[in-house]
Amino acid sequence: MAVTFSDLHTEAGLKSLEAFLAGKSFICCDKLTKDDIKVYAAVLEKPSGSLFPNVSQWYDAVSSQLAPSFPGKAVGVRIAGQAAPAEAAPAKESKEEAPDEDDDLDLFGDETEEEKKAAEQREVTKASTKKKESGKSSVLLDVKPWDDETDMKKLEEAVRSIEMPGLFWGASKLVPVGYGIKKMQIMMTIVDDLVSVDSLIEERLTVEPINEYVQSCDIVAFNKI
């Protein structure tokens, strides 16, 4: 049963408490309860024993119960304008025995034999691809016409019309060879594993329809990149 008293900091309020405590040791029963603590907190200081003997005796009884030998009895209650010290909360048991993250957190798990083989195959494929990409050469070709009447512009267009994976045509120029005849020198870059220069000359540059303009081709320079 909750018991409340108002204005306990005034004489009228203390008189009402005095009358209530007549013949009682504590407010509700013969032992300290939370009602005593709440009322005790509202009384700013010990009342006069001559004016309020019941309240004074009760005040002493509550004070003795709230002495340091009884910690935690008035947790959260303001006593004489001050908050009663809260009893230290017991530490959680080692963070509730939190599991070791390193033990439980397994991002990848154990690799199976199949997964290991697949990873190895990927590495081999990547290495092979990288080798193919880096295995390039720069080649300078001499492309010779049949005579001085050969249309060198069409000759160049015919040569550049050849397209195949790993073949990249570069700059070109005409170089005099005598008797009014000029040859064309042209640069090309090739991926070694995809393009054979000998096959390019024999099967593409000196056969129909390009051989209408091209008499022969020679490798002038061949450099690995």
Is residue 129 within a helix (H) or strand (E), and if so which, with residue range? helix 113-134
Query: Same fold for the domain at 11-83 and the one at 134-224?
Result: no
34-72 tens-digit pLDDT:
877 888 887 878 888 888 898 888 898 888 877 654 444
SS3 per-residue string spanning 51-74: CCHHHHHHHHHHHHHCCCCCCCCC
> Is residue 90 scored above 60 in pLDDT?
no
Q: Are 47 and 59 in contact (CB under 8 A)?
A: yes
95-132 tens-digit pLDDT:
445 445 444 444 455 667 777 778 888 887 776 665 55
Strand partners, 142: 185, 218
The region that residue 52 occupies, defined by phi over 0 for left and psi between -120 and 50 for alpha, beta otherwise, is beta
Q: Please give the span between the terminal C-alpha atoms of the chain, in angstroms, as a whole number.
A: 97
> Is residue 223 scored above 70 in pLDDT?
yes
Which CATH architecture group holds 11-83?
A: Up-down Bundle (1.20)
> Domain extents for the chain?
11-83, 134-224
Q: Evaluate whether the domain defined by 134-224 bears CATH number 3.40.30.10.
A: no
Residue 197 or 110, more confident: 197
On average, the pLDDT of the chain sits at: 78
- Residue of 140, 128, 139 whose CA lies nearest to 193: 128
> What is the CB neighbour count within 10 angstroms for residue 16?
15
With 0.75 as the threshold, say if the pTM is over it.
Answer: no
